[in-house]
Amino acid sequence: MDFIQTFNESYEKLANKSIVNILWKEILQEERTEDHLDELIEYSFHYPVDTDAYLERLLEKFDILHKQELRSIDGHLKAYIITFLYYCTMKDNSRVSVHTTLLASSLYIKLVSIPGVGKIFDEPNMLKGQLILLVKIAKERNIDVARKRYIVKLFKKYALKKKPDIAILQGIANTFVLAGLMVSTEVVNNFESVKGFTKYCLHCLRRLIEAEENDQNIKGLFESVFRCFRRSVIEPIPNKPAAISVIIAFVRDVLQNEMDVHKFQSVLDGFCLVWGREDFDHYEEAVVMMNFLKAEYYKELLRRMVLYTQSKNHKNYSINVFNLFYGMIKNFPNFPLDKVDVFSTCVFRNIIFHFVDSDKHMADRAINVVTNICELKDNPLVNHLLSPAQGISRFISTEVLLCSFVEVADQRWGASPRNQNLLMILSKVLPLSNVHEELVQQVLGVVCKDCTPHSLKPALPRLHELFCIMSLKQQIGVAEAVLRIIFKMAMHPDATSAEYCEHLFHCLLNPSVIDGITYSSRFYYNLLLNSDFEFEPLFIKCQRKIRPHHVKNTINQLDYNEPASALLLCCLLNYCKYEDITALLRFYIDNFAQISVRQIAGHLAVAFQQILTNHTLAEEDVPQLDVLQSLIMEALFEHNFPVNSIKPSYLLFQNIRNLLRIDTQHYTLDQLMFITSNRAFNRINNPQFGDPGSIMYLAELCLLLNKLPTENVLTILESFMNDSFKVEG
């Protein structure tokens, strides 16, 4: 019997031929056989028990068959042949061995591969089933590699002979790649190291690519190469790193080396097609592959990224390109930056433009990616992108960027991570540009609106860094706006506010080190300890933390050019009993010439007075205290002190003299009043000459000493008052 007669004999033995129709409907996915189990059991016993031998005979008979005879077979017999092969390859039943499945699959692929005749047996669902089967058997270790190769070879011949449509062709290509990667076990450094079945599958794929003439089909075939970067494809592969390394080696060592520039564009086309798939998420692995490309190909991919991120009609593309671009920046290739700087900047600009996208999901993804990019440390490409002269500023001004923040910020801080991300971006952009401080304050107010100490806590390190950097840049308005946010949280009734108090307390007393740069504590105390902040409640909340060593360290770090350093000392002394005058007295005397003419004089006098109150006078203190009181009196005579430092300095002078039991002679104070009055008189008579502060100086002394100025000054003052009354009259 020949091939057709053998099948016909089996068909005639089938008592209930309706099962053929049932199986046929299942192939067409119109019906399931679960409701026909009795018929299915009967069907399973109609063919020879030794199914392998039966199929082997059929394959032998097929090889010698005159293929055109298949054109004339009965439709029922055709359906029987297809359903029998379906039963042996795609039905889940224990009677069919793996070997049987391989034989049946081989026979079906041979049938559909017959030129002109194969279309009689060509059912798309059957062919897809054979492709799925190939992937399944590729994983089986107990199947001989030669048998696996044979199935792949049959599919290759089918594709080359039949020229199927792109869906089937790409399905075959996908199967070759997936089947080959299923058995990859070792990470490879070059394609020469790829072994056995995996290499054979990829060589067959290359043969399909070489034979294809349609450009669109070629793109689809190349997309198959890069499917390993998709989650749904790579997930079932046992050794993912090994599989990806094989594809990278195939692209680098085979495709890139063997194709000219024009043909390799199709490889890039295939890679770009993967970008549009929802499950494309192996960005870092894709970047590793990209880094092996020649600079011209890498640059071409960036150019396409610019186009995809400009379009509003490719959401999947845009989001995936956002993430891929981030991966590229994290792992930048080893060729010069100037080869890709313009395209990279354009992609970055386009991502930023999506901040104001009407699609909130798209906007959030754009903000997230830019946030992640900004968080990269010591990255040359990030530094370039944010460079005021060369980076994004060439295409979008910082002012426009900040205005977009106002537009896109969430109404409430805790509603989403969006505002925290915007704050992060802000902290990276502001140090690299000079922006109008009022705009920055507005943005900070919007971004941090309605935040609580608890919700803002993750952003505290970012705020601290921004404050330090802007203080160093002398952008005091911006630094103050940041400090106000931190201070507001510290004064909040929420329990988490204690962490902000702790932060401020620490930063007032200690320098901060950020990325290897040390920022002085003066940045904090110079801004916080002024009349614009009600700072006293902060020290009340922190009073239990204040210890004598804090006072000692503050004394050691006093700077006569920084009045707030002495004010900080005063604040600490309000809540800490400290008795040692040695260090402060030495600083006071050694630097008195500089102290007496600066605003620090008053705060320092108050601080010394506080310590002196707690101090037990020792004999060795007397000489230096005597020197200090003499210096203070001399400075009063010389009019060195700023006006607001006169009173605390004089009170300290009096206190020291009382401790030393030195009587202050009235004639000394009278002489001081006389000299001060004369200076004020000269200033009144000659406004263009004399000491401009002498009048205020005199007024302060009059109140302090409870004495009147000299007659000549009083006369002039009375004259001024009389003239004033006449004018009013």
**pLDDT beyond 50 at 726:** no
**pLDDT beyond 70 at 1:** no
- CA separation for the pair 147, 538 (Å, rounded): 80
Residue in this structure with the two tokens 């009965």, named with its chain if needed: 74
Among 258-267, 433-442, 472-481, which stretch is predicted with the lowest mean pLDDT? 433-442
Find the mean pLDDT for residues 548-561.
Answer: 96
Q: Does residue 311 contact residue 317 with C-beta atoms inside 8 Å?
A: yes
Give DSSP secondary structure letters for 48-95.
-S-HHHHHHHHHHHHHHS-GGGGGGS-HHHHHHHHHHHHHHHTS--TT
433 vs 389, more confident: 433
State residue 482's pLDDT score: 95
The pLDDT confidence band at residue 687, using thresholds 50, 70 and 90, is: low
**pLDDT beyond 60 at 252:** yes
> Distance of CA 95 to CAs 54, 87, 151, Å?
14, 10, 22
Find the mean pLDDT for residues 697-706.
Answer: 73
Long-range CB pairs of 41-49 (<8 Å, 24+ gap) are 42/15, 42/16, 43/14, 43/16, 43/19, 43/87, 44/87, 44/93, 44/95, 46/10, 46/13, 46/14, 46/15, 47/10, 47/13, 47/84, 48/10
Summarize pLDDT for 89-108 with one digit per residue, the tens.
887 766 778 888 999 999 99
Max mean pLDDT among 311-320, 375-384, 521-530 falls in: 521-530
**pLDDT beyond 70 at 724:** no
Find the mean pLDDT for residues 608-623.
Answer: 91
State residue 727's pLDDT score: 39
**pLDDT beyond 60 at 717:** no
Summarize pLDDT for 20-66 with one digit per residue, the tens.
888 888 888 866 666 667 777 777 778 887 889 999 999 999 999 99
Summarize pLDDT for 54-90 with one digit per residue, the tens.
999 999 999 999 989 888 888 999 999 999 999 888 8
**pLDDT beyond 50 at 725:** no
Find the mean pLDDT for residues 701-726.
Answer: 61
> Distance of CA 162 to CAs 115, 119, 157, 221, Å?
7, 9, 8, 16
Summarize pLDDT for 176-228 with one digit per residue, the tens.
999 999 999 899 999 999 989 999 999 999 999 999 888 899 999 999 999 99
Check residue 318 and report its DSSP letter.
H
User: What is the residue extent of each domain of the chain?
Assistant: 579-728
- CA separation for the pair 230, 226 (Å, rounded): 8
Sign of CA dihedral 180, 185, 189, 195: negative
Residue in this structure with the two tokens 């080396």, named with its chain if needed: 257
Mean pLDDT, the chain, as a whole number?
Answer: 87
Tell me the sheet residues that pair with 519: 512
State residue 422's pLDDT score: 93
**Total residue length of the chain:** 729
Residue in this structure with the two tokens 């995936």, named with its chain if needed: 320
Summarize pLDDT for 137-170 with one digit per residue, the tens.
888 888 889 999 999 999 999 999 888 888 999 9
The angle that helices 75-89 and 3-13 make with each other, rounded to 10 degrees, is: 80
Find the mean pLDDT for residues 520-524.
Answer: 96
State residue 261's pLDDT score: 86
Using DSSP, state whether 123 is helix, strand or coil.
Answer: coil
Find the mean pLDDT for residues 558-572.
Answer: 95
**With pLDDT > 70 as the criterion, what percentage of the chain qualifies?**
90
The angle that helices 295-310 and 315-330 make with each other, rounded to 10 degrees, is: 140
State residue 646's pLDDT score: 86
The pLDDT confidence band at residue 242, using thresholds 50, 70 and 90, is: very high
- CA separation for the pair 505, 415 (Å, rounded): 30
State residue 36's pLDDT score: 67
694 vs 588, more confident: 588
Summarize pLDDT for 402-459 with one digit per residue, the tens.
888 999 998 888 767 899 999 999 988 888 777 788 888 899 999 998 899 999 999 9
Q: Does residue 220 contact residue 170 with C-beta atoms inside 8 Å?
A: yes
**What is the reported pTM?**
0.81
The pLDDT confidence band at residue 398, using thresholds 50, 70 and 90, is: confident
The pLDDT confidence band at residue 536, using thresholds 50, 70 and 90, is: very high
State residue 397's pLDDT score: 79
Select from 339, 331, 352, 349 the least CA-distant residue to 300.
339
Among 239-243, 491-495, 515-519, 675-679, which stretch is predicted with the lowest mean pLDDT? 675-679
- CA separation for the pair 62, 106 (Å, rounded): 11
State residue 585's pLDDT score: 96
